[in-house]
Structure 1
């Protein structure tokens, strides 16, 4: 096809902000009752709510239906980042879903075959949303759900206690808080409660401040007597070791994902009759690959034991696959699907448990719920039905970028991983000798990773002639403990250096215009973008979304309990290194910023509250730097409303157009000094 030359950035594209917002309706958390498969799915067009959807394995061509009607919103606020918000069990009239309702954080029971509306299972606390529930499992006998309960007990963000509790399914606790039984208490944080197949033992993961769950956790096992955990043993984990998942293989054996060797590998833990450890955990697959990830959300399952003794596991470096592990040999046989990224949401389905469920994607495949037969290896998409194993063009397939995973050389000759998305448009090209603008995307966390997948938000820019490079800077997961610990005491240094190194490398290769480089990020990525704009001259402008801007404020009460001491590892001990906190904070260096920017913030954000943005802008007042501040009602940490997603994209593109000198047909956002 002959392409028409137009300046980079001004290429017409059918991928508009509304299409991006609709694309955000991605599936999560698959679960099954025999042949019936459910999952959670966000709905930006419905106020950002999370719906529950379902289909059936044994009904070829069955439509996907929404089970939980609007305005119900299956989303938990435990740790503010939430996690798996529901569990399935069986009732007299068919399947029953027990879920956390976002609006009041109570647990509700809903049977689509019998109930006209969900019925509450937990009481309404005196302080709204003071009790929150996540990672639900069905208790022994099927008459209770057991889960992690987070109780907010005072005005400070750190006034929080957590426990594993049992909630009766008969609804008796809705009006009687005493009907909820405490099963186990432990350290300040709890995750991954799992009952042994015979119901006699309970395992869980715990950790305490100042550690984060990817730094140091403990795997506990207790005997269950009269519905309570007794005689607790520590069977894995410790200092400089993080257990991130554990599942029962049989009543005396656990498979846990932990990293004493520097990589999250599956280990087998054999227990004695009294619940102690028979021997040290045995690494089943000693590979320099990750079989787990950071516990930002409760309920992730990167591995699932199978009935035949094998283990289904998500694994890889940078990208991930799903394979079947033979514990005796360590051999892995990967599923033959086109997906290059699998999330930690595995589950078993089918009457015989012979189907593996997961959420997967690829550069040309949008995230979807995938069912893989454990019998013959065939696969099919459940959330986007098509023939078994059949490929299908992704939305806007011709307009998607052609990404490449790269390893760049950074400061001190260290490797820096990044995904490069060059501009691509099937109908347009750029004038000869023009280099494209590039935007460095910085993921959040900072203990996280930018996967290389079908992403219409990336394509929104690349299809208009703006390159994107997503940098997995030092501190990212997917590359082993040593790589993610590069950020220890170096947040705001290593991450910025790595982003600058990648941007400059693209310029030196002739792939990017040195005068048209930008940086953007949200949350921890917003921090890195702000530090880069206040501390380097590499970027001509930036997009800063719901950021950390003041380390001192963040450390002294301006964030939630989960991350309230995260800076101890990222920056240094408090208050001994207070000067370091002050010196690195963009709010203390606002006078050094010279580049235009847009600042985007949710007004209900409990993690990175708007007060930090307001403080930063006050320090910037009178400096003459063109900028725009957009604050959104009804948004928390990360944008979920369709109107917000559209407005944020328009503001970002408008910034680049004004600074880089190209025209667009999208609304212009005024940049005021």
Structure 2
């Protein structure tokens, strides 16, 4: 029997504890011989990342290290590939990893009796003299692990250097920094980890410099490896200021494969082994472009924004094919024949694959999800075409009838431009609303802003839709997945295009009767928090939103551009807004801090006190401007949380507080969340 009740008042078995328990996904999948390893979230264990091992003999995966080991690093603050391994003929694999608490690189022989991790790098400070390590490659034959080194040279967040380094595997550098070999100089501000050619003679990596972000312009660097393990002849072989190469990888035949957006889309290209050799032989520092061959030119993305170092959108197989993620918006897994350009997609229900691919012989393993399933470890046998879930299988913790049914839609924004979005109407198996009632809707704004919202099962979305509150995820102009032209819409237009596109979706939903125009809300975190706050303070959207949830946001552009963030994004605003020296008024005009007098809607502000990317001081200044203006608001600051919430108790509080805001603003009668204590 169907029960009739107002939107927003429906009961649901999806509670905040269930949302928190399933927050996050497997990440950084890799192969060590026949084994698969990856990291997995543990919200109930302080938000740590566990290191998982899946032997190739049918045994189930196991967590290798107990709490409090946390396999994660802080290179560029967002981190990157935190582990690597190598098989050995005896004694089992050798694994190296970074531990979040001290940022040291450790080694582990998991099959040794009474195996315990031992440090490979010195204990250091987190500021001046601080050392961080990322994107490692274990080379037992050289007795070293090669990786990215990030070293702080002063107290400020931008006083640092990054380079490729070689760390001894015998632990001799644990107490002696001088034992670390520097493979490159620090002339490049940013570098990715090394990729070795099959014959061990060549090395490739990516580099870029301020003010570019990696999706703006990167360089593919190559060098020869001497018998002594030094690099010689380092030079650029591809890429440039207006060309983003997201990944570079050697194939089994020695050719170099890259994902480049030179033609407007991240597509796969090949630089033959002879061209790589010729380029390196040309001499260090020379700038001759190597000839390339497009493998599968399409108006689709075969890569994405490199927010973390070591992401992998494609992976060459030994026999010649290339496993590749591709698509517009969502990315699916295909197998590419580089000789013919034929691309065959993997079978199965998965519609979204994470940039984390591993290859074992003819098998490709990835992390995949769909609107009905969470992220799973999935294997594709390229010989048979069969796919199977290997680990982290999806589990329905509630009846799937409570999951939302998303709609992929394209709306019309200002000037007739396309705006891509996923719309999740309220959905409940046995509750409906009275006839004629339109539901409340919340516009969800993704972070980045150079990123996108994946179309996958998200229990946090289901938490709201199963209660009768609709959700619209907007992939506004500037989002990835739709080519460089779409991505570049945000250049110098941050706080305008993102705000307008989100508003266009909200207004269209209201105009067509899908959403109640009096009960629209907006929410987001990080750059999404910026857009949410800007939408509550911008004249472009005055009166549109009834309330908003703003999580770990940017609120003061001038402060953020002058020392209030980390090095990686410290000059990001030059492309998003414009150079501060040239357009200081634009920084002030668009900042929510200076538009606080226009806030009329109640809001919830959530912040981690350990956040160095969007620091709490920005929230504090904003609240000072709002204080005494009669606007109901709640500020929740969480100790031990950084940029993005990881602890189960924090996630529960944040989710329940957001629902409480909607109860307060939309007049929803619920007793399953405590009311917010709001100030004015």
**TM-score of the two chains, using structure 2 as the length reference:** 0.95
Match of 1:638 in 2: 644
Give the counterpart of 1:105 among 99, 103, 106. 103
CA distance in structure 1 between the partners assigned to 2:449 and 2:169 by the alignment: 39
Give the counterpart of 1:229 among 194, 215, 231. 231
Give the counterpart of 1:548 among 554, 564, 568. 554
Give the counterpart of 2:433 among 423, 430, 437. 430
CA distance in structure 1 between the partners assigned to 2:306 and 2:230 by the alignment: 25
1:308 is the counterpart of 2:316: no
1:396 to partner: Cα distance: 4.0
Matched residue of 1:94: which SS?
coil
Superposition map of 1:131-530 within 5 A: 131-139=131-139, 141=141, 143-185=143-185, 186-225=187-226, 226-250=228-252, 252-270=254-272, 271-276=275-280, 279-349=290-360, 353-385=361-393, 396-530=399-533
CA distance in structure 1 between the partners assigned to 2:179 and 2:64 by the alignment: 28
Matched residue of 2:93: which SS?
strand
Superposed CA deviations along residues 355-396 of structure 1, whole A, max 9, x for unmatched, are: 1111110000101111111221212212235xxxxx975754
1:211 to partner: Cα distance: 0.3
CA distance in structure 2 between the partners assigned to 1:161 and 1:591 by the alignment: 41
CA distance in structure 2 between the partners assigned to 1:377 and 1:142 by the alignment: 38
Residues 205 and 219, structure 1, Cα contact 8 Å, conserved in 2: yes
Matched residue of 1:288: which SS?
coil
* CA 647–614 in structure 1, closer or farther in 2 if over 3 Å, else same: same
Residues 140 and 199, structure 1, Cα contact 8 Å, conserved in 2: no
Matched residue of 1:76: which SS?
coil
Gaps of 5+ in 1: 386-390
1:87 to partner: Cα distance: 0.5
Select between 230-239 and 583-592 the one with higher mean Cα deviation.
230-239
Give the counterpart of 2:675 among 657, 668, 672. 668
* CA 426–578 in structure 1, closer or farther in 2 if over 3 Å, else same: same
CA distance in structure 1 between the partners assigned to 2:577 and 2:592 by the alignment: 14
Paired residues, number: 662
Matched residue of 2:422: which SS?
strand
1:651 to partner: Cα distance: 0.8
1:283 to partner: Cα distance: 1.3
Matched residue of 1:132: which SS?
strand
Match of 1:63 in 2: 60
Match of 2:9 in 1: 10
CA distance in structure 1 between the partners assigned to 2:395 and 2:645 by the alignment: 29
Residues 349 and 370, structure 2, Cα contact 8 Å, conserved in 1: yes
Superposed CA deviations along residues 574-595 of structure 1, whole A, max 9, x for unmatched, are: 2111110011000011111000
CA distance in structure 2 between the partners assigned to 1:142 and 1:49 by the alignment: 32
CA distance in structure 2 between the partners assigned to 1:507 and 1:251 by the alignment: 56
Matched residue of 2:277: which SS?
coil
Match of 2:283 in 1: none
Kindly report structure 1 stretches of 4+ aligned residues shifted beyond 6 Å.
none
Select between 8-17 and 126-135 the one with higher mean Cα deviation.
126-135
Superposed CA deviations along residues 29-75 of structure 1, whole A, max 9, x for unmatched, are: 1112233211100101000000011223431xx32211111110000
CA distance in structure 2 between the partners assigned to 1:426 and 1:205 by the alignment: 50
CA distance in structure 1 between the partners assigned to 2:225 and 2:436 by the alignment: 71
Residues 192 and 246, structure 1, Cα contact 8 Å, conserved in 2: no
Match of 1:613 in 2: 619
**TM-score of the two chains, using structure 1 as the length reference:** 0.96
CA distance in structure 1 between the partners assigned to 2:118 and 2:26 by the alignment: 25
Matched residue of 1:83: which SS?
coil
CA distance in structure 2 between the partners assigned to 1:274 and 1:80 by the alignment: 37
1:582 is the counterpart of 2:579: no
Superposed CA deviations along residues 530-561 of structure 1, whole A, max 9, x for unmatched, are: 00001122100000000000000000000000
Match of 1:388 in 2: none
1:427 to partner: Cα distance: 1.9
Gaps of 5+ in 2: 281-287
Matched residue of 1:236: which SS?
strand
1:74 is the counterpart of 2:82: no
Match of 1:564 in 2: 570
CA distance in structure 1 between the partners assigned to 2:84 and 2:609 by the alignment: 31
Superposition map of 1:591-606 within 5 A: 591-606=597-612
CA distance in structure 1 between the partners assigned to 2:261 and 2:48 by the alignment: 36
CA distance in structure 1 between the partners assigned to 2:561 and 2:522 by the alignment: 25
1:142 to partner: Cα distance: 5.1
Give the counterpart of 1:90 among 87, 90, 100. 87
Residues 125 and 131, structure 2, Cα contact 8 Å, conserved in 1: no
RMSD: 1.5
CA distance in structure 2 between the partners assigned to 1:293 and 1:29 by the alignment: 15
Superposed CA deviations along residues 410-450 of structure 1, whole A, max 9, x for unmatched, are: 11000000000000011211111111000000000000000
